A and B are shown apart, each in its own frame.
Chain A
Amino acid sequence: MSKVIFLKDSTQELTSDQSANNVYLLISKELSNHEIVEINFEGILGITTYCAKNIFGRLYVELNANNFPRRIVFSNLSKDYKLIIQQGILDYIRASA
Chain B
Amino acid sequence: MDSVLEATAFLFSENRYVKVHCDFRNIRSISLLGKMMIYKTVSHLANSNIAEEGSVALPQDLADSLDRNGFKELIESYILGKSTQAAYRRIKNTSETKSFLFPQKLLRENADSQKVTQLLLSIKQMYTKFNNPRAFDTISSCVCELLSNFWAHATQESETLFTAEGNDQSFTAVIADNAIGIVSSLKLAYPEFEKLPPGDVLLKAIQKSISSKLKLESKSNHMGYGLYIVAELVKLNRGTLEIWSEGGRITHKAGKYYSKSTGYWKGTIIEVKLHLNAPRTISDIPALSCDPRLDLVPLTMV
Contacts and interface: CB of A to CB of B under 8 A. Distances in A.
Contacts of B300: 69-70, 72-74
Contacts of A49: 145, 223, 225-226, 229
B223 A15 contact: no
Given A49-B223, A70-B300, A74-B302, A18 B144 contact: no
A13 B118 CA distance: 10
Nearest to B225: A49
B137 to A, nearest CB: 6
Given A48-B144, A73-B302, A13 B113 contact: yes
B288 interface: yes
A85 interface: yes
A5 interface: no
A86 interface: yes
Contacts of B113: 11, 13, 16, 18-19
A45 interface: yes
Interface in A13-28: 13, 15-19
A45 B117 contact: yes
Interface stretch (B36-44, B68-76, B214-222): B214-222
A12 B111 contact: no
Contact of A75 (B140, B219, B289, B301): B301
Interface of B: 108-109, 111, 113, 116-117, 120-121, 124, 137, 140-141, 143-145, 147-148, 151, 219-223, 225-226, 229, 281-283, 288-289, 291, 293-294, 296-302
Contact of A38 (B147, B219, B297, B302): B302
B297 A12 contact: no
Q: How large is the interface on A (under 10, 10 to 19, 20 to 34, 35 or more residues)?
A: 35 or more
B56 to A, nearest CB: 34
22 contacts: A16-B113, A17-B111, A18-B111, A38-B302, A45-B124, A46-B143, A48-B145, A48-B226, A49-B145, A53-B222, A60-B297, A69-B300, A72-B300, A73-B302, A74-B299, A75-B302, A80-B283, A82-B299, A83-B289, A91-B223, A95-B219, A95-B221
Interface in A50-85: 50-51, 53-54, 60, 65, 69-70, 72-75, 77-80, 82-85
A13 B136 CA distance: 14
A11 B296 CA distance: 29
Contacts of B140: 45-46
A27 to B, nearest CB: 14
A88 B223 contact: yes
A15 B301 contact: no
Nearest to A52: B223
Contacts of A60: 297
A62 B121 CA distance: 33
Contact of B144 (A46, A53, A90): A46
A16 B297 contact: no
B110 to A, nearest CB: 8
A54 B151 CA distance: 16
A87 B144 contact: no
A7 interface: no
Contacts of A80: 137, 141, 281-283
A36 to B, nearest CB: 9
A61 B108 CA distance: 25
Contacts of A72: 300
Contact of A11 (B117, B124, B225, B299): B117
Contacts of B151: 15-17
A50 B143 CA distance: 14
